[in-house]
Amino acid sequence: MSVIILDFKGQYSQLIARRVRDLGVFSKILPGDSPIDEIKNEKPEAIILTGGPDSVYEKDAIHPDEKLFEIGVPILGICYGAQLMGYMLGGNVQKADPSEAEYGKAIANYEESLLFDGLKSGAVWMSHTDFIDKLPEGFKPIAKTKNCNTAAIADESRKLYATQFHPEVNNTEHQQEIFKNFLFKIAKITPNWSSEDFIEKSIKEIREKIGDGNAILGLSGGVDSSVAAALVSKAIGDRLTCIFVDHGLLRMNEAEEVEKVFKEKFNVKFKKIDAKDRFLEKLKGVTEPERKRKIIGEEFIRVFEDAKKDAKDAKFLVQGTIYPDVVESGLKKGDVIKSHHNVGGLPEDVDFELVEPLRMLFKDEVRKVGRLLGLPDHMVDRHPFPGPGLAIRVIGEITEERLDILRRVDKIYIDMLHEYNLYGKIWQAFAVLPDIKTVGVQGDKRTYSYLAAIRAVRTTDAMTADAYPFDPEFLDEAQRRIINGVPEVNRVVYDITSKPPGTIEWE
């Protein structure tokens, strides 16, 4: 283990983990109040404290174990993490005067220190109403902005550093240099994280876990499950059976396309199960997103349990769970953003031992692994598709009619992205069918038909995202083709919401 990131419910916690990994150092996120023994067991070479929404002096604010600063490894506190360091080590934190609170861009001037080695000044991203107004003993300021004399502080003898600003976001200049200085000059970590090493280590761990047993894998045809299939197949060969469940919530022609690709391209056992009726019956009348996810998660398991007998009574279930799934479904005591059907949506009585070889990878890391394993580009670069499928893109009650409408809208939209050579420039694009009808005019007649939404985002890790800036001409052509091609729709909107505050999917 290299770097532990203690999460205090900060919106950029996963981004910090990515910045560390981008420099070839493995990072792992733990809840901010994790027991000290749990942290020590990870044998961290450095620790980073994230931002968070609380004020450190509030009664219910999350605090780390008070022995954290006695472990003896370098620690970097960021925003709330900086205030924690100041507060817990004997300094004082107080609320800033409204005129002195900082949100957004500020210019920081750096003092001589290892954290800012080679830097004099730069734009930084601020987001705070509290500030450290009295430093703990042994600390000194190492950066200042116009409104904050403690924009960064350090006790260099104990290798404790803290920034009031967010070095992990793109709005901060020299972000890579700051993290390099902390990891390599202060913590003296040797980069040891690569996709090649991950593959080698994972194959060994999979073989040790499964032994001479058999496994089944829930294959969706998406990037995550496909890479998991390739990785586990490399480890145990034909003792893996890939099961593709057609739950009736797929995109147009998807079941046929997935079956064709895997039967032609991969040397794995492939079985397709038609489970449309049982899934749609379970989802009948359900409108609440979390219930949808949990119903689908449980039904997947039940289908796999029924199928295990045909796979030599397999005791292991392989899933393409990735790190954002784990984080968004709740890191132990963390808040659940949304349950993923393969994490928070699983029933408690699972009659399998789970194998999740990609559980600690972000999406772009999964793609790198996929390429190294020989997966074709068109599969590795495919936009993510959620395990619950169209169930979380049909907002409200799921019916055959509404699924059919959404499939046709989505196909027109995605086909246009390929036609305009935009598909590869976008991380994820899809259509949504809200439970909304609107008045329109078509053929000089009044209509009362569905509204359809289209979404496209740019991101590197799916933890933060921005809407893709389509040309107005593209959006105009998209709405025209959708409305003309899908008579049940008379209005199209484009979702420009970033993440945060929204999520990429609607449910």
Query: Could you tell me the CATH number of the domain that includes residue 256?
Result: 3.40.50.620
pLDDT per residue as tens digits for the range 97-116: 766 666 778 999 999 999 99
Q: Which residues are annotated as a binding site for ATP?
A: 220-226
Specify whether 306 is located in the same domain as 367: yes
Q: Which residue range is the domain that position 345 belongs to?
A: 195-376
**Helix (H) or strand (E) segment spanning residue 40:** helix 36-41
Q: Is residue 386 assigned to a domain?
A: no
Specify whether 167 is located in the same domain as 203: no
**Confidence band for 346, pLDDT divided at 50, 70 and 90:** low
Specify whether 359 is located in the same domain as 469: no
Mean of the pLDDT values across residues 428-443?
94
Lowest mean pLDDT segment, chosen from 218-222, 393-397, 422-426, 474-478: 218-222
Query: For residue 251, is pLDDT > 50?
Result: yes
User: Contact 6/44 with Cβ under 8 angstroms?
Assistant: no
pLDDT reported for residue 102: 67
Which of these is catalytic: 45, 168, 254, 365?
A: 168
Q: Is residue 387 assigned to a domain?
A: no
Helix (H, G, I), strand (E, B) or coil at 471: coil
Q: Is residue 22 assigned to a domain?
A: yes
Specify whether 268 is located in the same domain as 329: yes
Task: Give the CATH number of the domain where residue 102 resides.
Answer: 3.40.50.880
Query: For residue 250, is pLDDT > 60?
Result: yes
**Confidence band for 376, pLDDT divided at 50, 70 and 90:** confident
**Confidence band for 11, pLDDT divided at 50, 70 and 90:** confident
Q: Is residue 384 assigned to a domain?
A: no
Specify whether 178 is located in the same domain as 249: no
Domain count, the chain: 3
Task: Choose one of 186, 208, 243: the last residue of a domain.
Answer: 186
| CA 372 to each of CA 53, 221, 282, 322: distance values in angstroms, whole numbers, following the listed order | 40, 18, 39, 18
Mean of the pLDDT values across residues 295-323?
83
Q: Is residue 247 assigned to a domain?
A: yes
Q: Is residue 381 assigned to a domain?
A: no
Specify whether 359 is located in the same domain as 473: no
Q: Tell me the torsion sign for CA atoms 351, 357, 363, 366.
A: negative
Query: For residue 348, is pLDDT > 80?
Result: no
Query: For residue 339, is pLDDT > 80?
Result: no
Task: Choose one of 119, 151, 186: the last residue of a domain.
Answer: 186
Specify whether 202 is located in the same domain as 173: no
**Confidence band for 330, pLDDT divided at 50, 70 and 90:** low
Phi/psi class of residue 168: alpha, beta or left (left: φ > 0; alpha: ψ in -120 to 50)?
alpha
Indicate if 168 belongs to the active site: yes
Please indicate whether residue 352 or residue 189 has the higher confidence score (pLDDT).
Answer: 189
| CA 133 to each of CA 106, 140, 151, 153, 164: distance values in angstroms, whole numbers, following the listed order | 19, 12, 11, 11, 12
Residue whose token pair is 């509030």? 58
Lowest mean pLDDT segment, chosen from 22-31, 55-64, 378-387, 410-419: 378-387
Specify whether 133 is located in the same domain as 96: yes
Query: For residue 192, is pLDDT > 90?
Result: no
Length of the chain: 507
Helix (H, G, I), strand (E, B) or coil at 274: strand
How remote is the C-alpha of 173 from its chain's centroid? 24
Specify whether 111 is located in the same domain as 130: yes
Residue whose token pair is 């808040």? 335
pLDDT reported for residue 108: 94
Specify whether 298 is located in the same domain as 370: yes
**Confidence band for 337, pLDDT divided at 50, 70 and 90:** very low
DSSP 181: I
With b for 16 or more beta-carbon neighbours within 10 A and e for fewer, the 188-224 pattern comes to: ebeeebebeebbeebbeebeebbeeebbbbbbbbbbb
pLDDT reported for residue 341: 44
> What's the alpha-carbon Rg for the chain, to the nearest Å?
25
Which of these is catalytic: 79, 174, 242, 247?
A: 79
Specify whether 207 is located in the same domain as 179: no
Mean pLDDT of the chain: 89
Please indicate whether residue 360 or residue 128 has the higher confidence score (pLDDT).
Answer: 360
pLDDT reported for residue 343: 46
Task: Give the CATH number of the domain where residue 480 resides.
Answer: 3.30.300.10
Mean of the pLDDT values across residues 480-489?
97
Q: Which residues are annotated as a binding site?
A: 220-226
Please indicate whether residue 190 or residue 256 has the higher confidence score (pLDDT).
Answer: 190
Q: Is residue 499 assigned to a domain?
A: no
Mean of the pLDDT values across residues 341-349?
51
Please indicate whether residue 268 or residue 504 has the higher confidence score (pLDDT).
Answer: 504
Specify whether 368 is located in the same domain as 253: yes
DSSP 222: S
pLDDT per residue as tens digits for the range 160-172: 999 999 999 888 9
**Helix (H) or strand (E) segment spanning residue 104:** strand 102-110
Query: For residue 462, is pLDDT > 80?
Result: no
Q: Is residue 29 assigned to a domain?
A: yes
Indicate if 365 belongs to the active site: no
Residue 218: name the closest of 176, 262, 257, 187 by CA.
262
pLDDT reported for residue 10: 85
Task: Choose one of 376, 405, 438: the last residue of a domain.
Answer: 376
How far apart are the two ends of the chain, measured CA to CA in Å?
34
